[in-house]
Structure 1
């Protein structure tokens, strides 16, 4: 009996220790808001005297940071945000762009700035600026005005700036900006963009009759159909274009913003690809390239999809918000910033990576 009693007592102690350990781990795990607070603290120290962030890269990073701050409840009157907005205003051009004269990235920069100014637009302060900027990004979208009718593989897309070759990333920036401006899904610019987006999906259908889907019919998305087509993840031996994570989340989000129903075959195929490649360790198909862009696009797309959990193909369900917070917590640096060891697409810049993370966390809180 004494042995039984001792074993019972030991089990109670072990269970108690396990419970205490679990409670301690839970208490130690940072919340999304705690991650945001530390990121904001870093950015306040990182801002230049003129209000910019990484000005050598143009105004785009400042716009991303300002939007990330605003989306996390920092008001437009906050000195850090106000200085950033004042800096961005100096790039407002007479043609509506919010970009430096001669910039090769005027679509990207203007679309990012639209999101910031729209979020800060209390009492209509930026109505005129937003109206002009919205007209500008619509104007530079590829369509029949540039001798690219709907049969063209440029049609509906947007490139980095002016009339550069269109790609899915910049087209989703355009759709983000139009969505921020409360543009209805049936707007002509939105529906033109949907044509381009659909042609960047590896799904044979009436929406994509190009050669690539039949070569890799996996339902994911690649970078661009224009100028012969290309994928940042490379091509298959048969010439098909590889799908990858960030563009597939971008494609999913773009279709939802354009009013495509969740039961539409295009949405279903994109979701199935993402179910098969669910990851918060890498940008599927790209490793650590564009990882922080991926985190932002992952969060925004799943928020638009409207499900609190996301199931893999085998049925395993993920609480994507808590898993995203945990993944970002593990990568936050001691000074509160984030940065990618992979320098591609400027993500080694802690201002850019931290801006992306604040945007991602705004959907995870």
Structure 2
């Protein structure tokens, strides 16, 4: 009986790996959402079995929950209970500073990311049904305080002459003036979470919005546009700097230079703009309060409209030894879709993006990037949540 059982399990597992039949964006979204809800643990979390840094559930839970809550205008009774269970998991893992992702002293799970998505998930749940938000409200202010304190500014020993000034990174400053890992993606999420709280019961006074002006200064460092106030650091020498040539796009980090997936263009003597960074840059500008018709936004949108390959984030070299372009497939879909929704791109472009996503769906409703583990998209929970974000923002 052992061999037949093993054969049956093999057939079941292999069927989940095969692409699903063509379907509509809404059908694909529904199947992906159902798959994610089915993966929730009894304690309310979602966690990875293959990556230690995602194993506790502190990072994946708020991200997956936010994706799920964003995919619907209402929750069934069962899913409402599951959402509240996830919220309890999140609150139980906050530390004294209001940060999520730091309950294990040996493994930090992206505290800025995790805390930002916790706020976004709570506020999305409040929008769906205020009655579902209970004790979470008591903790939102502490989470906001953590994010504000995590911004690299004068209180942390950063001056306006430093490239990291005004941005966010993996965690709070390690030492005065030392950011550790920091980049555009963390900055975007922190800004979006803070922006979500700009109205209603948590609204900040005008004089408290200095964080957004500092953030805009950081974004100028990363954007290559005509009003740039900043200069790019050259590889291997942060002391040698250069003016940023105009093309409207964004690169990723002025501090962790190896994180720039567009790499350094030796001929142009600059860090390349690339698609995912430019999408993050647009969303970060909007979250920092920059109007849609501002030159900074329109310049970045112009770059994105010029580089329209949906299946590969243009600007990332295709001949690099490490396949970074393939590794961020679903991140690219999600970030581009969020821009398309935020700036009301034509329905035809959103339909084309949805079709690009759908072709990767497996028969069990999940998604996975098997090309490369560089960005952990070979973890189905992460890839599927990114696909849910993409499909959600592609729909009318």
- Say yes or no: does 1:294 pair with 2:332: yes
Q: 1:265 to 1:115 in 2, by over 3 A?
A: same
- Say yes or no: does 1:139 pair with 2:155: no
Per the alignment, residue 205 of structure 1 pairs with 227
In 2, Cα distance between the equivalents of 1:241 and 1:206?
14
Contact 1:253 1:305 in 2 (8 A): no
Per the alignment, residue 332 of structure 1 pairs with 361
Deviations 1:139-176 (A, max 9, x none): 11000001112222111110012223321110001112
- Say yes or no: does 1:168 pair with 2:184: yes
Farther off after superposition, 335-344 or 41-50: 41-50
Per the alignment, residue 322 of structure 1 pairs with 351
Farther off after superposition, 165-174 or 281-290: 281-290
Farther off after superposition, 108-117 or 219-228: 219-228
Contact 2:338 2:390 in 1 (8 A): yes
Q: 1:347 to 1:229 in 2, by over 3 A?
A: closer
Deviations 1:315-362 (A, max 9, x none): xxxx22211221111110111001112212211111011111112222
Deviation for aligned residue 1:208: 2.5
Contact 2:101 2:109 in 1 (8 A): no
Deviations 1:32-84 (A, max 9, x none): 22112111222233222322222540421111111111111253852432332
In 2, Cα distance between the equivalents of 1:351 and 1:151?
40
Contact 2:59 2:109 in 1 (8 A): no
* Matches for 1:187-336 after TM superposition, within 5 Å: 187-210=209-232, 214=243, 216-226=245-255, 231-238=260-267, 239-286=269-316, 287-308=325-346, 319-336=348-365
Larger Rg: 1
Give unmatched runs, 5+ long, in structure 2: 1-20, 174-179, 234-240, 317-324
In 1, Cα distance between the equivalents of 2:160 and 2:243?
21
Contact 2:101 2:111 in 1 (8 A): yes
Contact 1:149 1:155 in 2 (8 A): yes
Per the alignment, residue 43 of structure 2 pairs with 50
Deviations 1:292-312 (A, max 9, x none): 111111111222223335xxx
In 1, Cα distance between the equivalents of 2:337 and 2:224?
22
Q: 1:214 to 1:117 in 2, by over 3 A?
A: same
TM-score by length of 1: 0.82
TM-score by length of 2: 0.76
Contact 1:216 1:241 in 2 (8 A): no
In 1, Cα distance between the equivalents of 2:187 and 2:46?
24
In 2, Cα distance between the equivalents of 1:241 and 1:288?
19
Per the alignment, residue 349 of structure 1 pairs with 379
Q: 1:69 to 1:97 in 2, by over 3 A?
A: same
SS at match of 1:347: coil
